[in-house]
Structure 1
């Protein structure tokens, strides 16, 4: 597949004055990945792993410390975050935020919320054309016309989520970044919104970056999964391979933690200890060292590179476990 978005050695460090001179929090550290046209990629990991910072970097809401984000070969990071808001590339990458209540302007009716990006990003000014586009987009996401004149506080959680999605897809983006889009909804509303997202991707041929802590949702919607830990990518694999034969010990623990009645009573991997500090981490020590059940002296002296361990399957571990259960020490 053709690469729509290519991320090259992307990093974002934040100075931490209270930790001393030169102290920096490594929120995202030397991350590289690609998203192909029409592909749905999942991004998973614990809180604090760098997922939200990746959303802001790829959505060009913040500038990186280093690295590049290229869309079809054009370097988007050459445009500063301040100028990117008025760039013609802005409409091509849209973000659906975690909490629609917080991300929607409380003084905008649903109609205005959907119309605003049409005016700002597509430059539409004809009232009839804008209204036509708003009503068509609302119908696309299953939002009844009678709700378009309501303010966010007059809508249910699921209805607000639909407005947030409609606002993003109205400008026909190439990449839709979904940052935990169902986490603020109840279970029944989650199921409806997830079905809507699956349908929209098929109908509009968009690429998705689906950020979530819910691995069952990721398995349902994504064809490939990226796993992050403390700012680093530790595994990338096709979804089926990752869920049936994870190769990194951290991914194995994540998959084992998925509730499954069929595995009741089985021994599961346990992660003892606490994550290492993301402030000035030692570049020669594996980020997972100290919690990893397979940790060895090598892990404390050499950062494992992200390398191929199977077809389209990559893991950053010196001792990536093979599907058969042996060690892969290539």
Structure 2
């Protein structure tokens, strides 16, 4: 599999506080990640772990503080955001946002919402060509032409979600970044939208980065899973390998929290304590130290790097690969 997008040492810091209490919040703290052509990668972790920040940096909506981001070999992180929005590469990376109501312009009709990125990023020979592309995008997501003149407030939640997807795929991206695209929808609608996303990927050959809290959805849609904790990637593996044999204690706790009738009466491992502060963290301490049930003195003296523990399986733990 060829590499489509490769992040190396990605960091994103935010200034917090004032005066003597000033510090830097490490939203991303040295993330390495590669996404293959046609691959679907799930990005999971607790709220505040940096998933959405990473998604926005990958989509070039947020400038990284440091690191490189290579798309087909070109470092797009080196292109200023003001220039990147007019770059031909902008159409190649698109994003579907968590809340379709918030992400759609209330003053744009459905047709306008889909036509705008086509006009800006792809161009159209004439009005008829633009109209044809808009209708083709609607057809791809299973929406009828008679919605073209409607405004977002006249649509159901599922229809708005489909318009958001149509807007993204209309410019023929190679990478689609999905930031919890179904979390604001009813369960019955979620299933329909998830099936649509799976069908679109199979039909169009796009790569996906799928950000989600729902591990069952990630297992269904993704070939590989990346687990984040406090701005770092702490484990990555092929999906089935990760679900069958998680190597990091945090990943094991995440999977154990998934409701399972076969474990009725069993007590899943609990994570005691609170996460460490992401503000100016000590680079010599494992971020999970203090909550980890396997914490040892070495964890307070050395932050473990990602290292191989199996075929395509990496984990950032001093005891990864040892019996739990």
TM-score, with structure 1 as normaliser? 0.96
String of CA shifts for 1:256-276, please: whole Å, max 9, x gaps: 001111111123111011101
**Alignment-derived partner of residue 146 in structure 1:** 146
State whether structure 2 residue 91 is matched by structure 1 residue 91: yes
Q: 1:318-329 alignment to 2 at 5 Å?
A: 318-322=318-322, 326=323
Partner SS state of residue 210, structure 1:
strand
- 5+ residue gaps, structure 1: none
Tell me which moved more, 19-28 or 272-281.
19-28
Tell me which moved more, 271-280 or 78-87.
78-87
**Alignment-derived partner of residue 133 in structure 1:** 133
**Alignment-derived partner of residue 119 in structure 1:** 119
**Alignment-derived partner of residue 305 in structure 1:** 305
String of CA shifts for 1:78-117, please: whole Å, max 9, x gaps: 1111211111110000000000000000000111101110
**Alignment-derived partner of residue 229 in structure 1:** 229
Partner SS state of residue 142, structure 1:
coil
**Alignment-derived partner of residue 104 in structure 1:** 104
Offset at 1:72? Answer: 0.8
**Alignment-derived partner of residue 220 in structure 2:** 220
Partner SS state of residue 20, structure 1:
helix
Partner SS state of residue 200, structure 2:
helix
TM-score, with structure 2 as normaliser? 0.98
For the residues of structure 2 that align with 1:319 and 1:265, how far apart are their CA atoms?
A: 28
For the residues of structure 1 that align with 2:288 and 2:146, how far apart are their CA atoms?
A: 52
Partner SS state of residue 120, structure 2:
helix
**Alignment-derived partner of residue 292 in structure 1:** 292
Partner SS state of residue 252, structure 1:
helix
Q: How many residues align?
A: 324
For the residues of structure 1 that align with 2:83 and 2:21, how far apart are their CA atoms?
A: 31
State whether structure 2 residue 275 is matched by structure 1 residue 275: yes
**Alignment-derived partner of residue 58 in structure 2:** 58
Offset at 1:20? Answer: 3.4
TM-align CA RMSD: 1.0
For the residues of structure 2 that align with 1:264 and 1:18, how far apart are their CA atoms?
A: 50
**Alignment-derived partner of residue 32 in structure 2:** 32
Q: Post-superposition, which runs of at least 4 consecutive aligned residues in structure 1 deviate over 2 A? A: 17-22
String of CA shifts for 1:170-203, please: whole Å, max 9, x gaps: 0000100000000000000000000000000000
Partner SS state of residue 102, structure 1:
helix
Offset at 1:125? Answer: 4.9
